Structures are given as structure tokens and as C-alpha cells.
């Protein structure tokens, strides 16, 4: 496993590596993700899981809505194929709240357990702040699942600072911490530093899980170096990427300049900044559609950027006040 120090997930006793692996791609072209990701074979999923694990990553993040259980099932099969026992790995998944009430959290937990095939749900997250119920009702339902031994900890995703506080207070009333808030955060999208989310997380001891930490591949530099790749990208992602390529070019140039000193790639420098600049508060879940993506993500944990280099990157990407 990684020589990089593991971190506590929020105020829980669950320990995670600074880099986890997001497995949205394991939705395999199913459901709403058929426009964003091509189908993926189980053999490819197995290889990605094994590579991430062997590289030192000890946790994986999936969700109900990633192919209606398809990603969860693919992850579980990948873990089984790699010979990874339940107690060795940390599994995070999410409940989809839209057009539902908090009661659905209790009613559908058996589905999550079924697709995860015996792997414990270490972190169960409310995927969005939109449902027919309040954050308080959702957190009470989640606390019931912890009480029942069906999940180990509770997180949220895409919650504002105010919504985080409401969730945290409700859980505290049941004797549990709010472990995490999973939000959009990367060097091109630093809004959580301005809108109170990061400050609230630091104040309350909540882990920030950064989704899209490489900005849909933009922060790998591959689209800057090989523009024809854009034409081969699913159209759902292509329009957004095209707008951002020119805007991000100066940053890619800076990361390209810094990377050789660490024998690292541009993507590894971008991820390393994310998981170190704010101390232990932020962890990241890059995705992987190929084995080399998982290997590259894991290898981010073999070095740490200097304070000076982190400062240079900060100054180059800090949003205007």
C-alpha cells in the first residue's frame, strides 16, 4: 500500500488514502451516462480496480445513479477478482434523492447492499441537495442505517455551506459526525474556497471529497498537446472542454514546467496540489477508463509538492476576489 499517510474520513475512525478512485465510468454506457462514457467490459473494470489497489489506493467511490447499480456491481466484482476482502477496502456509494423522500433511504438500502455483493458501505452519501425531504429528515434516515449496522458513516454531496451545517447538526443530534461533502473542486474550479464550503469543512472537521479533480481530463494536458483527441470525445463532454482549453493553457504550461522536478505528469501535479494545499482536508477521486489512468492516479501519492511550488500554482489559479 501507499507510503503516503492515510487520513481520517472526517471525524470517523475510517482511514482513507488522499487519492481514491471514482468509478462513474463503470456505469458502462448505461442510463444517463450512455452519452458521457462508452461501455466497459468487466475485465477492464477488474484490471482498473486491481491496478488502483496495487498502487496504494484503498477506497472507491460509486453511486446508485451510475447505471442504476451497474457501477456498484462492477466495482464489487472487480474487488472480488482482485481478492480484496471486505475489511481491507473502503467503499463509498450514494443515494439519489431527486423526486424522492427521506423514507426511500431506508427502503432502497437493500438494493445498494445487493449490488455491492457483501462489501460494507463504509460511506453513504446523499448525492444532491434536492429531494422532497429536508436535510434533517435525510440525516435521520441515514442515522437509522448506522444504528442498524447497514452503513458505517454518512456524507453528503454538492451541499452548500448552509446545507452542510444543517446536515451536521441533525447527525450530531443522533451522535454521529457528518463525514464528508463531495463537491466539484479542481485547479480550474475553486469556488468552494469562496462560497464558505471549504471554510465550513475546516471548522467542523468534515472531509472534502473533490469530484472531477482533473476537470474531465482537461488538467492532464492531453487536449492541449493533442487537439484531435477532442473529436473523439463523447459530445456530452466535448462542448465544455472546447471552451476551457484556451483559458487553461497558461496553467498547463506552468504544470508542465513544474512536473519534471518530481518525475511526475501534469495530472499528478494537479492532483497533488489538491490533496496537500489545504492540509488533510481535501481528498480526490479521479476516474479511470483505462488501467494507466488508475496507475497514474495512485502514483500521485509517491511525492509531495514543495510549499513554493504549491504557492506558484495557487497564485496562477486563484479566483479573483
Which of 9-18, 96-105, 237-246 comes out lowest in average pLDDT? 237-246
Task: Assess whether pLDDT exceeds 70 at residue 35.
Answer: no
Identify the burial level of 108 via C-beta atoms within 10 angstroms of its C-beta, where 0-12 means exposed, 13-18 middle and 19 or more buried. middle
Q: Which residue has the cell 471529497?
A: 209
Q: Is 264 left (phi over 0), alpha (psi -120 to 50) or beta?
A: beta
Q: Are the beta carbons of 183 and 197 closer than 8 angstroms?
A: yes
Per-residue pLDDT band for 235 (boundaries 50, 70, 90) equals confident
Is residue 116 over pLDDT 60?
Answer: yes
pLDDT for residue 200 is more than 90: yes
Q: Report the range of poorest mean pLDDT among 27-41, 62-76, 216-230.
A: 27-41
The answer to whether residue 227 scores a pLDDT higher than 90 is: no
CA atoms of 257 and 174, how far apart (whole Å): 50
Q: How many of the other CB atoms lie within 10 Å of CB of 16? A: 24
Q: Please name the residue that has the C-alpha cell 441515514.
A: 142
pLDDT of residue 232: 83
Task: Find the CATH number of the domain harbouring 284.
Answer: 3.20.20.100
Q: Are 26 and 75 in contact (CB under 8 A)?
A: yes
Q: Residue 186 above 80 pLDDT?
A: yes
Position 28 confidence tier, pLDDT thresholds 50, 70, 90: confident
**Which residue is associated with the grid cell 488538467?**
219
Residue 55 maps to a domain:
yes
Lowest-pLDDT range of 4-13, 70-79, 278-287: 4-13
For the record, the C-alpha cell of 279 comes out as: 492540509
- How far from each other are the two terminal CA atoms of the chain, in whole angstroms? 40
> Is 311 part of any domain?
no
Q: Is residue 31 over pLDDT 90?
A: no
Q: CA 199, CA 204: separation in Å to the nearest integer?
A: 9
Task: Write out the three cell numbers for 111.
Answer: 438494493
Residue pair 200/206 in contact by the 8 Å Cβ criterion? yes
| Chain centroid offset of residue 309 CA | 24
Give domain status of residue 104, yes or no. yes
The tens digit of pLDDT for each residue in 252-273 reads: 999 999 999 999 999 999 999 9
Question: Does residue 87 register a pLDDT over 50?
Answer: yes
Q: For the whole model, what pTM was predicted?
A: 0.95
For the segment 148-170, the average pLDDT, to the nearest whole number, is 98
Q: Could you tell me the pLDDT band of residue 4, with boundaries at 50, 70 and 90?
A: low
Catalytic residues: 66
pLDDT band at 29 (very low <50, low <70, confident <90, very high): low
Q: Please report the pLDDT score of residue 1 as a whole number.
A: 40
- Contact by Cβ (8 Å): 126, 97: yes
Query: What is the pLDDT, as a whole number, of residue 230?
Result: 84
Vertex 142: Cα angle to 136 and 146 (nearest 5):
135
- The answer to whether position 78 is within a domain reads yes
Any domain includes 223: no
Distance CA 104, CA 141 (A): 9
Q: Which residue, among 135, 179, 181, has the nearest Cα to 154 in the 3D structure? A: 179
Domain that holds residue 162: 7-214+265-306
Q: Taking a C-beta distance cutoff of 8 angstroms, is the pair 196, 165 a contact?
A: no
Is the pLDDT confidence value at 237 over 80?
Answer: no
Which has more confidence, 5 or 215?
Answer: 215
Q: Of 282, 256, 243, which is closest to residue 17 (Cα–Cα)? A: 282
Mean pLDDT of the chain: 94
Residue 2 has pLDDT above 60, yes or no: no
> What's the domain count of the chain?
1
Percentage of the chain surpassing pLDDT 70? 96
Q: What's 189's DSSP letter? A: B
Using a pLDDT cut of 90, give the percent of the chain over it: 85
- How far, CA to CA in Å, does 51 sit from each of 21, 62, 79, 155, 278? 11, 17, 11, 27, 28
Cα gap 221→138, rounded to integer Å:
40
- Alpha carbon 161 to chain centroid, angstroms: 18
Amino acid at each position: 500500500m501507499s507510503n503516503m499517510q492515510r487520513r481520517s474520513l472526517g471525524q470517523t475512525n475510517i482511514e482513507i488514502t488522499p487519492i481514491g478512485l471514482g468509478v462513474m465510468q463503470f456505469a458502462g454506457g448505461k442510463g444517463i451516462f450512455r452519452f458521457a462514457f462508452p461501455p466497459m467490459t468487466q475485465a477492464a473494470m477488474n484490471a482498473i480496480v486491481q491496478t488502483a489497489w496495487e498502487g496504494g489506493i484503498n477506497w472507491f467511490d460509486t453511486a446508485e445513479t451510475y447505471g442504476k447499480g451497474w457501477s456498484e456491481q462492477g466495482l464489487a466484482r472487480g474487488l472480488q477478482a482482485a481478492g480484496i476482502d471486505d475489511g481491507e477496502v473502503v467503499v463509498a456509494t450514494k443515494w439519489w434523492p431527486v423526486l424522492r423522500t427521506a423514507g426511500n433511504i431506508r427502503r432502497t438500502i437493500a438494493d445498494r447492499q445487493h449490488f455491492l455483493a457483501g462489501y460494507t458501505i463504509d460511506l453513504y452519501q446523499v448525492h444532491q441537495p434536492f429531494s422532497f425531504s429536508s436535510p434533517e429528515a435525510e440525516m435521520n434516515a441515514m442515522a437509522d442505517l448506522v444504528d442498524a449496522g447497514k452503513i458505517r458513516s454518512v456524507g453528503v454531496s454538492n451541499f452548500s455551506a448552509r446545507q452542510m451545517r444543517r446536515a451536521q447538526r441533525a447527525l450530531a443530534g443522533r451522535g454521529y459526525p457528518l463525514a464528508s461533502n463531495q463537491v466539484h473542486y479542481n485547479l480550474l474550479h475553486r469556488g468552494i474556497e469562496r462560497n464558505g464550503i471549504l471554510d465550513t469543512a475546516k471548522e467542523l472537521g468534515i472531509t472534502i471529497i473533490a469530484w472531477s479533480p482533473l476537470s474531465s481530463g482537461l488538467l492532464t494536458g492531453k487536449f492541449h498537446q493533442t487537439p484531435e483527441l477532442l473529436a473523439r470525445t463523447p459530445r456530452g463532454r466535448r462542448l465544455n472542454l472546447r471552451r476551457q482549453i484556451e483559458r487553461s493553457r497558461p496553467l498547463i504550461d506552468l504544470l508542465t514546467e513544474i512536473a519534471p522536478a518530481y518525475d511526475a505528469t501534469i495530472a499528478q501535479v494537479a492532483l497533488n496540489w489538491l490533496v496537500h494545499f489545504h492540509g488533510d482536508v481535501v481528498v480526490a477521486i479521479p476516474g479511470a477508463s483505462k488501467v494507466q489512468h488508475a496507475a497514474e492516479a495512485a502514483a500521485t501519492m509517491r511525492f509531495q509538492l514543495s510549499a513554493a511550488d504549491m504557492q506558484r500554482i495557487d497564485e496562477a489559479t486563484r479566483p479573483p476576489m
